[in-house]
Structures are given as structure tokens and as C-alpha cells.
Amino acid sequence: MKRVRIGMIGSGTVGSSVLSLLETRRSLFESQGYKTKVLPVLVRDPNKSRENVPLGTQFTNDPDVLEDADIIFETMGGTTRALELVKPHLEDGKILITANKAMLAECWDVLKPFMMNGQVYCEASVMAGTPVLGPLTGTLRSSNTLELHAILSGTCNYILTRMESGATYADALSEAQAKGYAEDPPTLDVSGTDAAHKLCVLARMTVDPDFAWENIQIKGLENLSSQAVLEAVSQGKRVKLVGSIIPDGSTWAAKVRPVLLEGSHPLAQSAASRNAMIFSGDASGTVILQGGGAGGLVTASAMVGDLIDHFSGVTGHQPSPEATKVPTDYQPELFEEL
């Protein structure tokens, strides 16, 4: 039995669920030949009272605790500090399992070599508990991407769903925060930035390993009226925040914006915090994936799934090896933008 020491950064909505799931899946890891031990968890305030973590979990604010780790789980969020904490350990050849799409989108120059090396597992960073990076970097690599459209923000989808039943934008956002779906600050969600971070990760996994964060066009929900949402419902339609990667002349375009969908559209079927993705590939045809897009346990399921993959010998999520040729004779689905 191999002994593996796990270094945890963060014990908030996601981290506390990861700690619990790591505890309940210990016997599964043992069946894979690994005995896991979680080191004291690195947090901001080690004296905070914490519920929903396994009995006996220890906390520290000393980053040196990570020195003893073989594998690092990062559930802290943000860019600069998170990168400072994980980078030396990646340089030491350790494995990183992260849910942090902001860091992946905005610190790409530093992280890309480690991703190419298979050291970084990040299924939870896009669509939380819905496995999309595994299929896109695995089976679906046999296809060239033609177009991809996705609902990527659990918070925005929750807000839109609640507004359809008459809730105000402010009340719906407060509810999403109380459920642990929103980023800190939630402006990251409602501005479309969080969805754009995820779309950027998707673009690098599918069409171009060097897709620039700055090239994503972003429009959020801030200027959307309740009237527009209710009017859509009265016409049998839905307003959704959709991220798309589509051919645009000789380049790939990536954009996040609110759009109007027919009620029967596959992306219109995902309500509340659920997410959905439609991928079209030249060989695969259309593939639709849908599931939990935010929340502690669904996100933990993807992160612990990454650990199980690692123990099974599956490498981390690797970006597209090269840029995919843009199909010039292909007409992607176009939406009515709001």
C-alpha cells in the first residue's frame, strides 16, 4: 500500500465537501493501493469554527504545511496568491487538483507547462460536478471541434431561473450566495467573468492551447431587466447566459452573453444551478452533457474523481496539443443576443 499525503488549501464551500468526501472514499483509495492522509488544512483563519468537516481535521495558516504533501488540492480561489502557493510544488513535480478557473484562465503562462506535463487535474473548474474536461481531453479528441455552446455559471442560471418565477434579481443573487454557489465577490459571476474563465479553459482544451484570456468577449446579467426574462417565458422562451466557441472567419471566437432560446432548446432545459454543454465535432457529431454546475458536494465529486483518476494512472487534463484548423465552410448555430 502506497502512502499519500494530501495538502489542502481552503476549507470553504468546496474544501469542506472535499474533506468529507476524501474521508468517506478512503476504502476506495485503499482498493486502488493508496493509503491517504490529509495534512492540517491551510486556511486564512485557523481559529474559525467549522462545521461539516470530518472530526479531528486540523487547520493552520502556515503554508509550510504543504512541504510534506505529495498531492495538493487547491480550493481557495483567486489568482496571484493561489498561484504563489501552488507553483513551487508544481516545480517539485507534485500533482495539483484544482477547482480554480480564474487561476487557470489568467495565469496560463505559468501553468501551461505543468498542464502539458499532466500534473494538473481540473475537472471541477468547468461545470463543477458535470464531467466535461475528461471527455473533451479524452474520447472527444478524436474529433476536430466545430462549435461549442454552454451554460457555465451556476449562479447566473440560478438567478435567471428564480427571476422566471418572479423573484427580484437582488433576492435571487442573495439566495445563490447563501447556497454557496457564488464567487467572492459575486460580481465575478453576474458580470459573466466566471463563465468566461471557464470558456477560456474550454477553448484551450479544444481549439487552441494558447487561446488568450483577453480575447474572450464578455457581457453579463447586470443590464438585463426582469421584464425581458418574464417576456421570454410568456413566449415559451428562456433567457440564458451562454458561452460559445465558434468559427469566425479565419479565427475562433469565444464569447459569453445573455441569449434568447426556444423553450425546447437543449440548453433551455437546465434550470437553477445546473449547467449544460453542447459540443459539435466533425467525427463525434453533437454531444450534450448536463449536470450540477455549482455547490460544495458536486464540485467535490469532480475533485475526488480527479484523485481516483490519478490513482488509476490517468494523467491530468492536457490542453489541445495544437490549434485546430478553423472550419471555413461551417455555419455555427447563432443565437439572438440580448
| Residue tagged active-site, from 101, 198, 219, 255 | 198
| Interior angle at CA 57, CA 55 and CA 59, nearest 5 | 145
Query: Could you say whether residue 153 binds ligand HSE (CB under 6 A)?
Result: yes
Intra-chain end-to-end CA distance of the chain, in Å: 56
Binding ligand NAP by CB under 6 A: which of 1, 45, 170, 322? 45
Query: Could you say whether residue 303 binds ligand NAP (CB under 6 A)?
Result: no
87 is catalytic: no
Q: What is the dihedral of CA 148, 151, 153, 159, to 10 degrees?
A: 160
The residues, ordered by sequence, that sit 6+ positions from 170 with a Cβ below 8 Å of its Cβ are none
Of residues 50 and 141, the one with the C-beta less far from ligand NAP? 50
Contact 27, 82 (CB under 8 A): no
The residues, ordered by sequence, that sit 6+ positions from 22 with a Cβ below 8 Å of its Cβ are 6, 36, 38, 304, 307
| Smallest separation, CB 101 to ligand HSE (Å) | 7
The residues, ordered by sequence, that sit 6+ positions from 137 with a Cβ below 8 Å of its Cβ are 205, 317, 318, 319
Neighbours of 167 (CB within 10 A): 18
Selected range binding ligand HSE among 66-74, 181-189, 204-212, 327-335, rule: CB under 6 A: 181-189
Binding mask 1-30 for ligand NAP (x = CB under 6 A): --------xxxxxxx---------------
Distance CA 226, CA 281 (A): 36
Binding mask 266-305 for ligand HSE (x = CB under 6 A): ---------------------------xx-----------
| Smallest separation, CB 43 to ligand NAP (Å) | 4
Of residues 201 and 261, the one with the C-beta less far from ligand NAP? 201
Q: Binding residues for ligand NAP, per CB under 6 A?
A: 9-15, 42-45, 48, 75-77, 81, 99-100, 124, 128, 180-181, 183-184, 294-295, 299
Catalytic residues: 198
